[in-house]
């Protein structure tokens, strides 16, 4: 019984870390993956490095997306598209208050 009492604080710390750090990160990764899979031609996107552009085409061979910018076309990995920034960019003007 004393051994359980000794490890109880460590177990509680792990449980708290799981629910406040690990689980939200897993949910965020799941949302980003779903977002990357649902991209379609013509969507306005922002990459994680801050590049703004429009989805021009997809390269299924290497899981990439071709983004059209003002100066040309660039190929990025689908995981390089920022979920939060792209959603803010595509949000209607009335909702931006």
The 10s digit of each residue's pLDDT in 52-96 is 999 999 988 888 999 999 889 999 998 888 887 887 877 775 555
Residue-level pLDDT at 94 = 57
Residue-level pLDDT at 79 = 86
Collect all residues with Cβ–Cβ distance below 8 Å to 50 and sequence separation of at least 6. Answer: 85
For the whole model, what pTM was predicted? 0.66
pLDDT at 16 over 90: yes
% of the chain exceeding 90 in pLDDT? 39
Residue-level pLDDT at 96 = 53
Tell me if 54 sits within 8 A of 45, measured CB to CB.
yes
Measured from the Cβ of residue 91, the count of other Cβ atoms closer than 10 Å reads: 10
């Amino acid at each position: 019984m004393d051994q359980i009492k000794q490890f109880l604080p460590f177990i509680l710390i792990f449980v708290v870390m799981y629910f406040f750090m690990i689980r939200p990160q897993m949910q965020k990764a799941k949302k980003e993956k779903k977002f990357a899979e649902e991209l379609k031609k013509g969507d306005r996107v922002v990459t994680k490095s801050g590049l703004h552009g429009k989805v021009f085409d997809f390269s299924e061979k290497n899981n990439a997306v071709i983004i059209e910018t003002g100066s040309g076309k660039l190929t990025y990995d689908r995981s390089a598209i920022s979920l939060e920034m792209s959603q803010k960019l595509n949000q209607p003007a009335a909702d931006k208050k």
